[in-house]
Amino acid sequence: MIRIALLSLALAGMAGGVAAQSSSDKSAQDLPPGVYMGGKDLADARAGTYSIDPDHSAVLARVAHIGYSWSVFRFDRVSGKLGWDPAAPEKSTLSVAVVVESITSSVKGFASELAGDNYLKAAKFPEATFVSTAFRKGDATHGLVDGNLTLIGITKPVTFEVELVGAGKGWADMPRLGVHAVARIVPTDFGLPALFGKTIEIVVDTEFQRTP
């Protein structure tokens, strides 16, 4: 009896494993025709010129809140171009522009204050830009992108730590490449008050789609 019970449990576990695997496999099959899931192979994003997909992008700034916590601000309008060749990632190029006045805050009225003349001066410097100077490959899914960040009219070198989230065929015959990137800047380097702490963390989650 005990042997039969153990055998039944083992068979049930195997069946559950098969069911779970089938459910996982089915996720790709549930996509509309011509739409493909991304994977972790950079080579799946074919060489070419890519544009940031603004509908699937977020630029966040994590700023120290007078020593108590991190305040998170989002910039809603971003654009950019990526020159990409998976066979030679080190030859890639990247340029990104963020509309400064698109900053948002959960504190009522604070976003417009931040965009104003006391802080980001959006009227005089409407965009913050990043232009790459070097791509440095790490392992299969990680690397560094060096470049120049221009904010409030001041340009400083900045390095983003980049992680591949997914690459693939995308849809509409436009391959896609998605990344998570993090950089840290010193607020006073860009003329911002020391009140903002020793570092501001810039977090970017974005998808690029290849232009036809």
Name the percent of the chain lying above pLDDT 70: 87
The model's confidence at residue 28, banded by pLDDT at 50, 70 and 90, is low
For 81-113, write each residue's pLDDT tens digit: 999 998 899 999 999 999 999 999 999 999 999
Q: Is the pLDDT of residue 154 over 70?
A: yes
Alpha helices in the chain (DSSP H): 2-29, 110-115
DSSP 154-204: EEEEEEEEEEEEEEEEEETTEEEEEEEEEEEE-GGGGT--GGG-S-EEEEE
pTM: 0.85
Q: How far apart are CA 65 and CA 96, in angstroms?
A: 27
Residue of 165 and 212 predicted with greater confidence: 165
- 42-210: CATH number: 2.40.128.110
Q: Is the pLDDT of residue 159 over 60?
A: yes
Q: How far apart are CA 196 and CA 128, in angstroms?
A: 18
Residue type, 16: G
Output the six-digit token pair for 70: 């991190």
Domain ranges of the chain: 42-210
Residue 87 neighbours by CB under 8 Å, 6+ apart: 47
Average pLDDT estimate for 23-50: 81
Of the candidate ranges 26-40, 90-104, 126-140, 185-199, the one whose mean pLDDT is the lowest: 26-40
Average pLDDT estimate for 131-152: 96
Average pLDDT estimate for 8-37: 57
For 50-61, write each residue's pLDDT tens digit: 999 999 999 999
Is the distance from CB of 199 to CB of 63 less than 8 angstroms? no
Strand, helix or coil for residue 21: helix
CB atoms within 10 A of CB 182: 16
